[in-house]
Structure 1
Amino acid sequence: MRPRIVYVHGNGNKVRRELLKSQWDRALFGRDMGEGSAMAYWAPVRYDSPLPDFRADPLDGEPEWIEETPGLTAVESAEDFIEECLAEARQETPGPDGVPREGVAGPETAAALSGWLRDMTYLADTLAPAEEEDRLPEGGTDALPEVLPLPRPARKAVLRLLIKRTFKDVYGYFFGGVGAAMRTVVRETVADAGPGPLVVVGHSLGSIIAYEVLREQRRDVELFLTVGSPLGITEIKDCLEQRPAVPACVSAWCNASDLRDLVAMDHTLRGEYAPDHKVTDLLVSNDSGNHHGISEYLGHARVQEPVRRVFGPTAWGSRIA
């Protein structure tokens, strides 16, 4: 039996289902996969009508699209976003005397964030030569800086504001009462895939929805591929229905992210989702507007490699083969 692939899209409204599926197909395989792929299209749970055909995906981070898209807010850069979050955190967490708490959003925190952003950008710039040699920057994962080196209250404030102000569908999934409907869409799409080897791909919020559905599945999944996923973030893990673990139905889990992708934030799932031997974390370069775009992730050779092992090289279009 031929393998099939199920996609689960991320935050925000999207173009119509079949067009979105074809766009993901072409980014990953270089051609439309026809009945070999399916899109778990949960956008109608949140939006009355799809985006116009061939409109840019708002999650790619292009301000001209984001500004006109319900559910998304544009920020000029990671630095701008964090400064906005810190400003709001100062207002929300005053000390007993009404002055912002130094440990939450004071000068020391701002300096730590500045250094974190600088280190993340530097390490991201080393990815291209590191990928050519199939290794991480010198020092391996130990070289990665602390993600948001803040006191816990400030880190939670940044995450909460990121979700509430920029990714409203994530807020709706966990706190807005629509999570069950989103999971139903994914569950039904996986069930319709039929027998045979199955790959499930989740982007951003889609990786969370897919993960929670796969935790309850008995149908074997050859490969679970997550890109730009926030599943490593402690506060996200705290919101999951079950304790973090590799879904029992999954044979292999590949998780890819760009160091500059603020949605991913924590770039390693291995060690947090047992058993470790099933999880592979990949650091890749994503040069979309916010380093989170789906086409850039799916078009990366290291992301395509585990899918190629399931589908075989003949599944790829001439652009990739």
Structure 2
Amino acid sequence: MRNTTDTVSVLYVHGAGNKPAAEDLKRAWDDDLFGKDMAGRTRMVHYADLLHRRPGTITADACGADGALAALVSDALTDGTAPDPETAAAEAAEAAEDFGAMTAEQQAFALSLTLSMAVRAAAPVAPTALAVAGPGAGAAAVSTELLPLPGPLRRFLLRQLLERLIPDANRYFFTRAKEQIRERLRTALDSVDGPVVVISHSLGTVVAYDVLSEPRFAGRPVPLFVTLGSPLGYTEIQDVVVKPLRIPAPVRLWMNFADRFDLVTLDTTLADDFRAPARMIADVPVDNRSPNNHASCGYLRTGRVRSAVRAAV
């Protein structure tokens, strides 16, 4: 039903990897961010079904010890493959089909982005943003801090992230799925009147940036655009998103939240890459306490994200 009030609506845009059904995922994000079901105030822009053959399920809490232990044990026992032989065979066939269908351009993109992430994971230091950058503020102050994770654990986390991000990013940028995914967000934006807060995670931040940059939405009131664990700092990603790199016209404030140990965030600041007169990106460092420092639940549960969204809503 179309919202015709001035109430601020919230649109969620999920990240890469297979996901549960839209309503299940929406309720999970509601709970992580607001601590309750927000009913019609929020909506999940769901596109995982366009990229994966079967929906995922809500299982153990990805931000809790049980979920982390289950992932580690599963990976150790199966070397990253699914324990069920039929599922493993189906996933292997899908991966082989995807790779075989890649053009040279797609393979080059996947290789370059994978290497960039691998270099960051292997680096002995990680950039740490110490300031919030705004108009005229110049580059955020940056220092370096030793990455405390041991090499094997960093490699495990990197593999987990790459298995989800790289295939879906390739499909988004280089197949007909791109327009289908964008259309899901366009439809959601068209379904409500009044102000809209857009909250996006991982690959979803790229989708949201591309759609909000379209001229048709220039007059759409978006008081707050939230990006969580965004890969928009990667040169490879910037090369294939909508240009010029700038804050989308309808966005009044862009808040970019990043954990300095999140391997998907090459650097934790976007304000030095995306600009617009009289508007700003607030690059906000947060502590994502999920096991891989990238999970959406970890970002949505942080006090800074919750405070920013609740103030806007």
Q: Equivalents in 2 of 1:113, 1:221: separation in Å?
A: 34
SS state at 1:279 partner = strand
Residues 14 and 57, structure 1, Cα contact 8 Å, conserved in 2: no
Q: Equivalents in 1 of 2:196, 2:144: separation in Å?
A: 32
Q: Using the TM superposition, give the Cα deviation of residue 28 of structure 1 relative to its aligned residue in structure 2, in angstroms.
A: 0.6
1:10 equivalent to 2:15? Answer yes
Q: Equivalents in 1 of 2:228, 2:256: separation in Å?
A: 6
Task: Find runs of 4+ consecutive structure 1 residues off by over 4 angstroms.
Answer: 55-58, 69-73, 162-166
SS state at 1:239 partner = coil
Question: For each residue in 1:142-195, what CA deviation from the matched residue of structure 2 results, as whole angstroms up to 9, or x when unmatched?
Answer: 2157xxxxxxxxxxxxx9xx8688531011111233211111111111211x12
Q: What's the counterpart of residue 195 of structure 2?
A: 197
Q: Equivalents in 2 of 1:308, 1:164: separation in Å?
A: 33
1:208 equivalent to 2:206? Answer yes
SS state at 1:6 partner = strand
TM-score scaled by structure 2? 0.69
1:279 to 278, 281, 297: 281
Q: Using the TM superposition, give the Cα deviation of residue 56 of structure 1 relative to its aligned residue in structure 2, in angstroms.
A: 5.4
SS state at 2:11 partner = strand
Any stretches of 5+ residues in structure 1 without a counterpart? 74-88, 94-103, 131-138, 146-158, 312-321
Residues 260 and 268, structure 2, Cα contact 8 Å, conserved in 1: yes
Q: Equivalents in 2 of 1:31, 1:236: separation in Å?
A: 34
Describe how 1:1-321 pairs up with structure 2 within 5 A: 1-54=6-59, 62-63=71-72, 64=74, 67-68=81-82, 70=91, 116-117=123-124, 119-120=125-126, 141-144=141-144, 167-192=166-191, 194-216=192-214, 217-218=217-218, 219-275=220-276, 277-311=279-313
How many corresponding residue pairs?
249
Q: Equivalents in 1 of 2:59, 2:223: separation in Å?
A: 31
User: Are the structure 2 counterparts of residues 248 and 29 from structure 1 closer, same or farther at C-alpha, using a change threshold of 3 Å?
Assistant: same
User: Are the structure 2 counterparts of residues 245 and 163 from structure 1 closer, same or farther at C-alpha, using a change threshold of 3 Å?
Assistant: farther
Residues 164 and 171, structure 1, Cα contact 8 Å, conserved in 2: no
Q: Among all aligned residue pairs of Structure 1 and Structure 2, give the percentage whose two residues are the same amino acid.
A: 34
TM-score scaled by structure 1? 0.68
User: Are the structure 2 counterparts of residues 164 and 180 from structure 1 closer, same or farther at C-alpha, using a change threshold of 3 Å?
Assistant: farther
- Residue type at the aligned position of 1:22: R
Q: Equivalents in 1 of 2:121, 2:172: separation in Å?
A: 28
Q: Using the TM superposition, give the Cα deviation of residue 241 of structure 1 relative to its aligned residue in structure 2, in angstroms.
A: 2.8
Q: What's the counterpart of residue 155 of structure 2?
A: none
SS state at 2:142 partner = helix
SS state at 1:180 partner = helix
Residues 13 and 45, structure 2, Cα contact 8 Å, conserved in 1: yes
Residues 12 and 167, structure 1, Cα contact 8 Å, conserved in 2: no
Q: What's the counterpart of residue 100 of structure 2?
A: none
Q: Equivalents in 2 of 1:8, 1:179: separation in Å?
A: 14
Any stretches of 5+ residues in structure 2 without a counterpart? 1-5, 83-87, 96-107, 132-138, 146-157
Question: For each residue in 1:222-277, what CA deviation from the matched residue of structure 2 results, as whole angstroms up to 9, or x when unmatched?
Answer: 10000000111112101113221000000000000111111111210112111274
Residues 203 and 226, structure 1, Cα contact 8 Å, conserved in 2: yes
Residues 182 and 211, structure 2, Cα contact 8 Å, conserved in 1: yes
Q: Equivalents in 1 of 2:304, 2:282: separation in Å?
A: 11
Q: Using the TM superposition, give the Cα deviation of residue 55 of structure 1 relative to its aligned residue in structure 2, in angstroms.
A: 5.5
Residues 232 and 269, structure 1, Cα contact 8 Å, conserved in 2: yes
Residues 8 and 40, structure 1, Cα contact 8 Å, conserved in 2: yes
